[in-house]
């Protein structure tokens, strides 16, 4: 029995929130794909900082690249793009078997471009061309500038993973950017079938912030609400997803072969040790969704997870929970904006540390 495979049979995909040359060259990623049904990979600057700083496999290439007197960002890209390509190649059979619905690898544009629309578009198109794999997703943050960039990238036929989403407002804004981009692409004669987009909704960071706000309120009613905001938000996000992508507004696009923009659960390692290590996995299993798991969370679900279609259970309770938060004075949209601002800063700091490591 393998809960990962059981959940996959129920319609959810599991991606690995990690990538390194060690995973590639020592066969661990291949094993996860073949034995656990892992069907995608997400990466970010923090992941690559850890991989490069702790892995010996990068040093020969790093020395060669430094000897060519390249800029530090060029060194970074030329160092990690082969890893992205290798992961794409490992997942190519999944991509082919699912007819381009799964089997993707994500590569992020430089985080310091998060508020620059055109620079994000330029970087995304350059990375897309350099990697040159159909099962690549370019990661773009869900900032206002990023959302505009997403619309134009989809409109240019480039598949995108939208990251740093923290609220239902972000979910709706990004779904709109995706559908507008699809309509532009189709209007210019493009085929929507090869285009893929996922919308990454971050979870554990939401509970971390909301729990702190509830603890400041400190009433028994407020304290009883801790640890449930993120799962409630995700359950309601899935209802929005169904309304949009299985409703009348998307029907004409669907008939032309356009794909729904799947929700991807991100930041799924529980940060509070008092919470279940599968808090952001077991309650959120549903069809046409993705959960990207760090290594420890993936191993935990394999070891003691339970697979069942849980995402559409307790939706009324999720609605009531969000209403109860509002009655306590918690503004989930404002919290989402705060978390996105913080996330952009943290990713930019991680990227700066990575550039310093490579300089």
Strand partners, 108: 139
Rg (CA), the chain: 20
* Active site (annotated) includes residue 139: yes
Scanning 188-247, the segments in alpha helix (DSSP H) are 204-217, 220-223, 229-245
Distance of alpha carbon 58 from the chain centroid: 25
The answer to whether the CB of 195 falls within 8 A of the CB of 155 is no
For 96, other C-beta atoms within 10 Å of its C-beta total: 12
Burial of 84 (0-12, 13-18, 19+ CB in 10 A): buried
Under DSSP, is residue 321 helix (H, G, I), strand (E, B) or coil? helix
Characterise 292 by phi-psi region: left (phi > 0), alpha (psi -120 to 50), beta (else). Answer: beta
Structure tokens at 6: 């059981």
Which tokens sit at 336?
């989402």
> Which listed residue (50, 64, 99, 139) is catalytic?
139
C-alpha to C-alpha distance for 277 and 296, rounded to whole angstroms? 9
Give the residue numbers annotated as catalytic, written as ranges: 139
């Amino acid at each position: 029995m393998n809960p990962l495979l059981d959940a996959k049979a129920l319609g959810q995909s599991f991606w690995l929130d990690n990538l390194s040359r060690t995973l590639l060259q020592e066969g661990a990623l291949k094993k996860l794909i073949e034995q656990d049904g892992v069907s995608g990979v997400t990466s970010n600057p923090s992941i690559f900082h850890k991989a490069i700083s702790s892995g010996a496999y990068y040093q020969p290439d790093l020395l060669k690249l430094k000897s060519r007197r390249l800029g530090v960002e060029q060194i970074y890209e030329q160092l990690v793009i082969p890893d992205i390509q290798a992961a794409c190649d490992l997942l190519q059979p999944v991509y082919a078997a699912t007819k381009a619905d799964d089997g993707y690898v994500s590569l992020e544009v430089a985080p310091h471009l998060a508020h620059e629309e055109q620079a994000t578009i330029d970087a995304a198109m350059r990375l897309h061309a350099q990697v040159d794999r159909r099962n690549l997703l370019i990661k773009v943050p869900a900032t206002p500038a990023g959302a505009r960039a997403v619309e134009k990238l989809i409109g240019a036929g480039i598949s995108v993973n939208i990251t740093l989403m923290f609220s239902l407002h972000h979910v709706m804004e990004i779904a709109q950017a995706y559908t507008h981009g699809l309509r532009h692409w189709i209007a210019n004669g493009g085929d929507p079938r090869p285009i893929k987009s996922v919308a990454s909704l971050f979870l554990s960071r939401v509970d971390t912030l909301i729990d702190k706000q509830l603890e400041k309120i400190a009433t028994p009613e407020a304290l009883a609400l801790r640890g449930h905001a993120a799962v409630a938000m995700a359950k309601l996000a899935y209802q929005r997803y169904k309304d949009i992508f299985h409703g009348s507004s998307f029907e004409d696009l669907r008939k032309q072969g356009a794909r729904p923009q799947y929700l991807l659960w991100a930041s799924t390692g529980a940060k509070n040790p008092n919470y279940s290590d599968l808090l952001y996995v077991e309650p959120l299993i549903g069809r046409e969704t993705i959960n990207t798991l760090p290594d420890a969370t993936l191993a935990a679900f394999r070891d003691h997870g339970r697979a069942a279609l849980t995402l559409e259970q307790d939706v009324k309770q999720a609605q009531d929970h969000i209403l109860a938060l509002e009655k306590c004075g918690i503004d989930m949209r404002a919290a989402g904006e705060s978390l996105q601002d913080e996330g952009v800063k943290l990713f930019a700091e991680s990227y700066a540390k990575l550039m310093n490591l490579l300089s």
